């Protein structure tokens, strides 16, 4: 038994290199599974496996109930046997006891081997999936293991297998078993039988990665691949640009004597590759994309709905080269540039324009302007039909004629597009934005019509009304919609602003009404703030809760002497009190500076009457202790307030200038 388990365990460690804990966990689970199968144990019964790999010993512990008399050996045990594993066991308890069957070693070893092999396969599949998932879009190489009509089976690293369907193989290429193949990892799927790795040699990114491997400038970012158009096995076009000045991107990709590009062509089994320089100007880029054909001019026609069309004029002898075999060159140029390209020869273009100028009223004015050029063009066309050779001057004259006509046509298209955009903007402004989220249930149309409208791509009220205003023919083309139904749709569009719930407008917050004498309160606060800042800058003396600066203390001493001999009448006090209304009467503390009320600045009418009557010593009135005194030292009139201290019988003066 020792040899069976130890040898099996060591074999797995050496061959697979998996972690020891993983193998032990798999081995324990396998032994538990083998025990359940051998004794037909219930899934609700708790079973554990204990192993000692050093001695090669193991045992199965099963959960059993302690009873006096055993009726079912699978779920019951005696108290004496239970105490061997749990000294505190008692009758009725559930304990874990040794339940290893006889001759269980061989069965356990065989089951464990199978379970470990299953775990190993799962671990290998997981490692393969994680590895190749990161390789998506990269080129890898492998050995062909099988080839049939459906594709190739390729052996890869980590003992993985990749499949290359026939559609992902370059046409006309064949591989044999044991051939080495380079391909792009296109897709990785996780299945029950392991990861499914799809390889491709027709993807355009396969050509991109080959260029990066062969051209160091592309790999390091000095040359950038702008776009790739490819028909695998036949031809490809690559647009490149330089990220630094002074570098030829096309020359870098082609290499000395074409060494670099030829290596890629051999890898692709003779696929021709055209490398052109990317240009930000669409006309220049399209002209280069048509290469190797020579281009006379390119005209861009952008339709009202945004479709990009380009007309390419080429010499007559370059027409077949520009189109390519079965239109291949034109298709690749269109894919490369993103424009729909229409290629015409100069003579064909002249013929089309002469017909248009004679038969279409929209170009009647243009025909009058180009009357002389039209006559010359007709003469050239007659000589061409007769088989005569045209001179270069005649070709240049025709090219200039076509250039003027195409530019005029482009201007008209631009005007129509601008008018269409203005009309669309006006229509959009008349439709509430919320209507594009509203269904058609409120349009009073039948359910069958609503279904037909939805199938036409108008799945909201906003889209239906917008289409009715911009493209009424598209609405009338829907089955079941006639003029009367179209009128209902128009009426529905007029009622749409009323049907759409209006979003509540945010009401502006009401401004606080100014309180009485608000300006004076603001002024009082500003005055208090200035006083506070002045007190902070100077040395402050605090005595009996009164704050005084050194300057005020000196002035108080001078005024105290004058106050003993100077008394003013009530009339003088009444006249001098008026200019002092806006001044702060006293500064007692910093807290009181911010608690000043308006009543402290403006006396009540009753106070004024009392002052005029000579009642100057009313108890609790601060105005009765104020005096106006002329200070000879200062050369100005000052206001004096007398304050009697609690610990002194005489008055101390505090001056507020």
Taking CA atoms, 655 is separated from 89, 249, 590, 637, in Å, by 99, 91, 18, 11
Give the pLDDT of residue 638. Answer: 65
- How close are the terminal C-alpha atoms of the chain, in Å? 113
> CA 622, 626, 628: angle at the middle one, nearest 5?
160
Distance of alpha carbon 208 from alpha carbon 518, whole angstroms: 77
Give the pLDDT of residue 214. Answer: 93
With a cut of 70, which residues of the chain have pLDDT below it? 1-5, 8, 12, 16-19, 105, 107-109, 111-113, 116, 501-657
The residue ranges of DSSP E strands in 119-166, in sequence order, are 139-148, 151-155, 161-165
What is the third-level CATH fold of 292-328+336-416? GMP Synthetase; Chain A, domain 3 (3.30.300)
Distance of alpha carbon 542 from alpha carbon 553, whole angstroms: 11
How many contiguous H segments (helices) and E segments (strands) does the chain have?
24, 20
Phi, psi of 51, rounded to the nearest 5 degrees: -130, 145
Q: Under a CB-based contact definition with an 8 Å cutoff, are residues 312 and 295 in contact?
A: yes
CATH tag for 135-202 (out of 3.30.70.20, 3.50.50.60, 2.40.50.140, 3.40.50.720): 2.40.50.140
| Cβ-proximal residues to 537 (8 Å cutoff; 6+ apart), any chain | none
The residue ranges of DSSP E strands in 81-222, in sequence order, are 94-98, 139-148, 151-155, 161-165, 180-191, 194-200
Give the pLDDT of residue 386. Answer: 86
- Which candidate, 153, 163, 158, 172, places its Cα nearest to that of 121? 158
Which of the 8 DSSP states describes residue 270? Answer: S
Taking CA atoms, 561 is separated from 41, 132, 557, 566, in Å, by 117, 104, 7, 9
DSSP, collapsed to helix, strand or coil, labels residue 409 as helix
Q: For the chain, how big is the Rg over CA atoms in Å? A: 51
Taking CA atoms, 227 is separated from 237, 252, 369, in Å, by 8, 16, 43
Give the pLDDT of residue 626. Answer: 58
Distance of alpha carbon 347 from alpha carbon 330, whole angstroms: 19
Tell me the per-residue pLDDT of 137-148, one tens digit each, with 9 for 90 and over: 999 999 999 999
Which region, left, alpha or beta, applies to residue 649 given φ > 0 means left and ψ of -120 to 50 means alpha?
alpha
Alpha helical stretches, state H, 220-318: 249-254, 259-267, 282-289
Q: Under a CB-based contact definition with an 8 Å cutoff, are residues 170 and 269 in contact?
A: yes
Listed by start position, the domains of the chain span 2-125, 135-202, 292-328+336-416, 431-499, 518-656
| Cβ-proximal residues to 26 (8 Å cutoff; 6+ apart), any chain | 112, 115, 116, 119
2-125: CATH architecture:
2-Layer Sandwich (3.30)
Distance of alpha carbon 180 from alpha carbon 156, whole angstroms: 10
DSSP, collapsed to helix, strand or coil, labels residue 648 as coil
What is the third-level CATH fold of 431-499? DNA polymerase; domain 1 (1.10.150)
Q: Under a CB-based contact definition with an 8 Å cutoff, are residues 273 and 238 in contact?
A: yes
Residue found by looking up tokens 């019509």 in the block: 449
Question: Is the four-CA dihedral 349, 238, 204, 301 of positive or negative sign?
Answer: negative
Distance of alpha carbon 298 from alpha carbon 498, whole angstroms: 51
């Amino acid at each position: 038994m020792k040899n069976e388990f130890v040898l099996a365990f060591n074999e797995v460690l050496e061959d697979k290199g998996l972690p020891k804990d993983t193998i032990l966990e798999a081995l324990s689970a396998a032994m538990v599974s083998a025990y359940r199968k051998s004794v037909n144990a219930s899934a609700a019964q708790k079973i554990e496996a204990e192993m000692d790999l050093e001695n090669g010993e193991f045992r199965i512990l099963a959960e059993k109930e302690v009873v006096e008399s055993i009726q079912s050996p699978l779920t019951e045990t005696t108290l004496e046997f239970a105490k061997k594993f749990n000294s505190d066991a008692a009758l009725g308890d559930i304990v874990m006891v040794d339940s290893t069957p006889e001759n269980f070693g061989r069965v356990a070893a065989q089951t464990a081997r199978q379970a470990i092999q299953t775990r190993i396969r799962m671990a290998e599949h997981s490692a393969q999936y994680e590895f190749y998932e990161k390789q998506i879009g990269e080129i890898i190489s492998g050995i062909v293991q099988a080839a049939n009509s459906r594709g190739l089976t390729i052996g890869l690293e980590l003992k993985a297998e990749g499949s290359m369907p026939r559609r992902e193989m370059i046409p006309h290429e064949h591989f044999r078993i044991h051939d080495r193949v380079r391909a792009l990892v296109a897709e990785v799927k996780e299945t029950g039988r392991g990861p499914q790795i799809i390889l491709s040699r027709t993807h355009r990114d396969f050509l991109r990665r080959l260029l990066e491997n062969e051209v160091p400038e592309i790999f390091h970012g000095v040359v950038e691949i702008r776009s790739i158009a490819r028909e695998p096995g036949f031809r490809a076009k690559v647009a490149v640009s330089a990220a630094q000045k002074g570098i030829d991107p096309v020359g870098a990709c082609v290499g000395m004597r074409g060494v670099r590009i030829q290596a890629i062509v051999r890898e692709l089994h003779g696929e021709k590759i055209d490398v052109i320089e990317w240009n930000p100007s669409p006309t220049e880029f399209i002209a280069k994309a048509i290469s190797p054909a020579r281009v006379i001019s390119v005209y861009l026609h952008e339709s009202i709905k945004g479709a990009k069309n380009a007309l390419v004029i080429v010499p007559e002898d370059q027409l077949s080269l520009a189109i390519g075999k079965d239109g291949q060159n034109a298709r690749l140029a269109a894919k490369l540039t993103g424009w729909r390209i229409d290629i015409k020869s100069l003579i064909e273009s002249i013929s089309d324009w002469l017909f248009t100028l004679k038969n279409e009223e929209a170009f009647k004015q243009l025909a009058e302007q180009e009357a002389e050029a039209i006559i010359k063009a007709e003469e050239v066309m007659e000589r061409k039909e007769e088989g005569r050779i045209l001179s270069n001057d005649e070709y240049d004259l025709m090219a200039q004629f076509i250039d003027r006509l195409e530019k005029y046509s482009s201007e008209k298209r631009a005007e129509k597009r601008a008018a269409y955009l203005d009309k669309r903007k006006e229509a959009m402004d008349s439709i509430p934005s919320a209507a594009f989220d509203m269904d058609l249930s409120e349009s009073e149309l039948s359910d069958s019509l609503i279904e037909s409208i939805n199938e036409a791509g108008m799945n909201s009220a906003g889209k239906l009304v917008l289409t009715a205003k911009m493209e009424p023919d598209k609405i009338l083309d829907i089955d079941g919609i006639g003029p009367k139904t179209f009128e209902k749709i128009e009426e529905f569009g007029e009622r749409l602003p009323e049907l759409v719930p209006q979003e509540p407008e945010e009401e502006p917050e009401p401004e606080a009404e100014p309180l009485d004498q608000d300006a004076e309160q603001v002024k009082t606060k500003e005055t208090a703030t200035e006083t506070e800042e002045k007190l902070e800058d100077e040395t402050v003396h605090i005595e009996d809760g009164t704050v005084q600066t050194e300057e005020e203390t000196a002035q108080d001493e001078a005024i105290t002497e004058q106050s003993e001999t100077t008394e003013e009448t009530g009339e003088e006090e009444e006249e001098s009190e008026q200019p002092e209304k806006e001044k702060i009467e006293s500064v007692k503390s910093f807290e009181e500076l911010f608690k000043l009320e308006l009543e402290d600045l403006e006396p009540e009418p009753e106070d004024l009457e009392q002052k005029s009557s000579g009642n100057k010593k009313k108890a609790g009135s601060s105005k009765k202790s104020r005096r106006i005194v002329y200070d000879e030292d200062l050369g100005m009139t000052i206001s004096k307030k007398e304050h009697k201290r609690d610990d002194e019988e005489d008055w101390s003066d505090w001056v507020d200038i």
